[in-house]
Amino acid sequence: MATLLLENISTLVTVAAPPGRLRRSGSEMADIGVLRDVDVAVEGEAIDWIGPAGTGRFPDAERIDCRGRTVLPGFVDSHTHIVHAGDRAHEFAMRLRGATYQEIAAAGGGILSTMRSVRESSVDEIVERSRPLVESAFRHGSTTIEAKSGYGLDTENELKLLEAIARLGEAAAPTLIPTFLGAHDFPPEHRSDHEPYIAEIIDRMIPAVAGRGLAQFCDVFSDTGYYTVEESERIFRAARDHGLRLRVHADELSSFGGAEMAARIGALSADHLLMISDPGIEAMRDADVVATLLPGTAFFLNLPYAPARRMIERGMTVALATDCNPGSNMCENMQMTLALACMGMRMTVEEAITAATLNGAAALDIAETVGSIEVGKVADMAIFTTADYPGIVYHYGVNQVMAVIKRGRFHRW
Ligand code: NIG
Ligand code: FE
C-alpha cells in the first residue's frame, strides 16, 4: 500500500551500508550501490520497496516522474552554525584586503561579532534570520542538518540560541539536530580569566541544556587561542555525565592533539582536521571516530585542505559537511562541498557521496534511520537534474536538485 512511487529513475544511488554496519570506512567508501531502471515505493514516512521499473505494482500510489534523472539519499550536513544572527560580509572584505581570520577575531570581530548580534536578537529574530538559510540548504538537497549554538556565550543567550534551533526545527522542512557549543570562544567578560566561564559552562549551561533536552551533543572549539586540550576534556567529561554525546572542532588552525583527544574521550566525530598528525589519524581510526571534513572552510579561509586521501587510505570513516557559518564559510550548499572535496582534497565522486550521506549520518549516530536508500529507512531523498551521478560534481557551482522527498513528503519548486 505505497503512498508514493518514484518512477523513470535512470540512476538510483542507494549508499547502502555494508551488512551489519552503519558506515563505510576507507576503501569501502568507493562502493555507493548504483542501481539502474528501478522504481522506489514509499509508504508514509518510510521506504517500502525498491524493485524493477514498470512492474505495475502500487496502482494507487501517487506517481513521481523522475524524468530519467538521478536519485540520491538526502544529504546529511553534520556540522553547521547555520542558526545565527547578523552578518559579517565586511570582515570577509577585510580578509580579502589581507587581514587573517585570527587578526579579525583579536580586534573584536569574528565569533564575538556574531555573539553581539545574537545577544541583541530575540528568539523570533534569530529564527527569521536563519530560516532562509535552512530553506536554501533544503533546496540544495540537505534533508538533515546539525546546528550548533556557540554565539550566545553566556547561559541566557546559549539557551536562547538553542531555543531558536528547536523552533526552527519544528517549522522548517529538514530535520535539525542541535549541538551545544558554549565552548566556542571566551566572551569578552571572561577573556583574561577563563576559569569562571568554564565553570559557568560546566555548572550552569550543561545541566540546563541537558535538563531541558535542548541538545543531543556537546562540541568544543579545541585549538590554539581557544580551548586547550585540558579545558576541553573537563567540559566533555561534564557533558558526558549529563548524557550528551561528544563532537570536537579539532586541529583546524594548528596541530593541537585534538584528534588524539577525540579518540581518548570517545567522541562520535572530530571535525575540520586540516592540521591532523599521523598519530591523530591512527588514534581516530582505531577508536572509530568519524573524521568530518569541511572543505568549504579551507576554501573560504584560503587554508590548505585536510589530508583526505591519507585518511581514506588509512581506513578512516570520512564525512563531509558545510560548516555553514557567518565567518569561516558562508555557504549552505552540500553540492558545492562535494565539488570542493573532489577538486581540493582529491576525493572521488563516489567517496564524496558516501561522505555526504551515510557517513554524515554515522557522525550523528542516526545511520540506522537515514543516510541511505534502503527499505525500512526514512524516505529522505533528493532528485538531481543530471542523468548520472558524476554530473552532480562535474557541473558544479549551480543547484542541480530539482525536488526533495522528506519523510515521504514530496517538495518541488
Ligand atoms: O567551524 N572554528 C570555529 N568555529 C567556526 C567559525 C565560526 C565563526 O567564525 O563564526 C568554524 O569554522
Ligand atoms: Fe564549525
pLDDT over 70, % of the chain: 100
Quote the pLDDT of residue 413.
84
Q: What domains sit in the chain, N to C, each tagged with a CATH number?
A: 4-73+372-412 (2.30.40.10), 76-363 (3.20.20.140)
User: Does residue 41 surpass a pLDDT of 90?
Assistant: yes
Q: Tell me the mean pLDDT in the region 122-142.
A: 98
- Model confidence band, residue 148 (pLDDT cutoffs 50, 70, 90): very high
Name the residue with the closest Cα to ligand 1, atom 1: 323
Q: What is the pLDDT of residues 13-36, one digit of tens each?
A: 999 999 999 999 999 999 999 999
Q: What are phi and psi of 67, to 5 degrees?
A: 50, 40
**3-state secondary structure at position 179:** strand
Q: Residue with C-alpha cell 531555543?
A: 163
Cβ–ligand 1 distance for 296 under 6 Å, the answer no
82-98 average pLDDT score: 96
C-alpha 181 – ligand 2 centre gap (Å): 10
CA of 242 to the centre of ligand 2 (A): 23
Please report the pLDDT score of residue 256 as a whole number: 86
User: Is 300 touching ligand 1 by the criterion CB < 6 Å?
Assistant: no
Does ligand 1 come within 6 angstroms of the Cβ of 104? no
Q: What's the 312 CA to ligand 1 centre distance in angstroms? A: 25
For ligand 1, atom 3, the nearest C-alpha belongs to 221
Model confidence at 410, pLDDT cuts 50, 70, 90, reads very high
Q: Is 88 in the pocket of ligand 1 (CB under 6 A)?
A: no
Would you state the pLDDT for residue 1? Answer: 76
Q: Ligand 1 within 6 A of 247 CB? A: no
Q: Say how far apart CA 374 and CA 370 lie, in whole Å.
A: 9
Mean pLDDT of 62-80: 98
Helices 349-356 and 334-345 pack at an angle, to 10 degrees, of 140
In short, whether 79's Cβ falls inside 6 Å of ligand 1 is no
**Per-residue pLDDT, 2:** 86
Residue 110 beta carbon below 6 angstroms from any ligand 1 atom: yes
Extract the runs of DSSP E, i.e. beta strands, from 233-327. 245-250, 269-272, 290-293, 318-320
Give me the mean pLDDT over the 128-152 stretch: 98
Look at residue 108 in the predicted model and tell me its pLDDT: 85
Alpha carbon of 328 to ligand 1 centroid (Å): 6
How remote is the CA of residue 117 from the centroid of ligand 1, in Å?
15
**Listed residue (284, 280, 294, 269) closest to 362, CA to CA:** 269
- Going by the DSSP 8-state scheme, the letter that residue 379 receives in this structure is -
Over residues 399-407, the mean pLDDT reads: 98
| Burial of 116 from C-beta contacts in 10 A (0-12 / 13-18 / 19+) | middle
Instruction: Please state the rounded mean pLDDT for residues 341-356.
Output: 98
Q: Are 67 and 31 in contact (CB under 8 A)?
A: no
Give the pLDDT confidence of 352-395 residue by residue, as tens digits: 999 999 999 999 999 999 999 999 999 999 999 999 999 999 99
Q: Is the pTM of this model over 0.95?
A: yes
